[in-house]
Amino acid sequence: MRIGLALPQYGTHADPTRIAAFARDAEAAGFDSFWVNDRALAPVRPSDVHPMPGYSPENPYPPEYTTYLDPLTVLTVAATATTRARLGTSVLNATWYPPLLLARTLTTLDRLSGGRLDVGLGIGWMRDEAAALNTDFGKRGAHLDEILDILHGIWTENPFAHEGPNWRIPRAHVDLRPVQRPHPPVLLGGFSPAALRRVGRRADGWAGVAMPPSRHTAVWAVARRAAEEAGRDPAALRQEIRFFPEPGATPESIAAALSTVRSTGADGCFFDLQQTVREPAEALDLGIRALERYRAGS
């Protein structure tokens, strides 16, 4: 199982001057991938509570979310500081971005990194963010399907044109091509049956979050079944899992959690220490020690 690490991006870790050295040193320590997430707004009175366990109207989302660096800028800095590790979004909220410009940015990043980009996409969970970005929260699943059509077309056709319910792109030359062919791997987030069915039908894999193995198995079965029904090979689907260690986590406890994720059949797991410790240097030290413990016991 590949092991990755979340880049310094939010909360007390949101220091742009620390990204390059963090990524360079973590790659030298043996990490296989680096990841970013996507948040646009931290409302004082939010419309929705964070969907992960432990949140409530009194504690609607992690307090670290009030400071957030742009995910693709962070990945760009990491791309210029590294040479080997994969670079992923888990996840980018696709419906916030015009798909034509999203395709241009992702293609540029794939070229800049020498073909190391993994494109994790989602639809968001907070209505306030959708309203602030002038997107229709109730239609975000349908919008994602059209965005996937556009991305695939731009990456695989030249010239390319699109006529859909939300976007119209006139026939145009698309000479900017990604390094990875036919396109960078596309992973989709989400936990609902509809989200997992979309993974099975349309994606290269799932950008998931660590959960008890029994629930993981049940959720993943939905994607595999959808792939079979669509005539695709379910064994070809990837699983890249995000894990949030609790404050006070030790290298040993993180290594044990990684082993549990591995037991589910995941292809990769990355851990996010920005809610665990206060500073990037602490995160890097703890992350390296956890990686060493995990590999020593593998």
Q: Where are the beta strands (DSSP E) in the chain?
A: 2-6, 33-36, 86-89, 92-93, 117-122, 160-163, 168-172, 186-188, 205-209, 238-243, 268-271
**Prior bond to 71 cis, omega within 30?**
no
pLDDT (0 to 100) of residue 268 = 98
Low-confidence spans in the chain with pLDDT less than 50: none
| Nearest Cα residue to 154 out of 140, 164, 137, 169 | 169
- Strand, helix or coil for residue 248: coil
Note the pLDDT of residue 180.
98
User: 218 CB contacts (<8 Å, ≥6 apart)?
Assistant: none
Q: Which helix (H) or strand (E) holds 201?
A: helix 193-202
Q: What is the pLDDT of residue 278?
A: 97
CA distance 201 to 137: 22
**Residues in contact with 226: Cβ distance below 8 Å, sequence separation at least 6, in sequence order:** 196, 197, 198, 199, 200, 201
DSSP 3-state of 93: strand
Question: In the chain, what is the straight-line distance between the N-terminal and C-terminal CA atoms, in Å?
Answer: 10
Q: Of 3.40.50.10860, 1.10.8.80, 3.30.1130.10, 3.20.20.30, which CATH number belongs to 2-297?
A: 3.20.20.30
Rounded CA separation 45/256 (Å): 37
Residue 190 CA to residue 115 CA, distance in Å, equals 25
Per 3-state DSSP, the chain is made up of helix, strand and coil in percentages (nearest 5) of 45, 15, 35
User: Which pLDDT score is estimated for 187?
Assistant: 98
Residue 71 burial (C-beta neighbours within 10 Å; 0-12, 13-18, 19+): buried
SS3 state of residue 233: coil
Distance CA 252, CA 30 (A): 18
User: How many whole angstroms separate alpha carbon 188 and alpha carbon 215?
Assistant: 18
Distance between CA 61 and CA 127 in Å, rounded? 14
pTM for the whole structure: 0.96
Compute the distance between CA of residue 115 and CA of residue 179 in angstroms, rounded to an integer. 5
User: What tokens does 280 get?
Assistant: 């990037």
Give Cβ neighbours of residue 275 (< 8 Å, ≥ 6 apart). Answer: 11, 62, 64, 244, 247
Q: What residue spans define the domains of the chain?
A: 2-297
pLDDT value of residue 69: 98
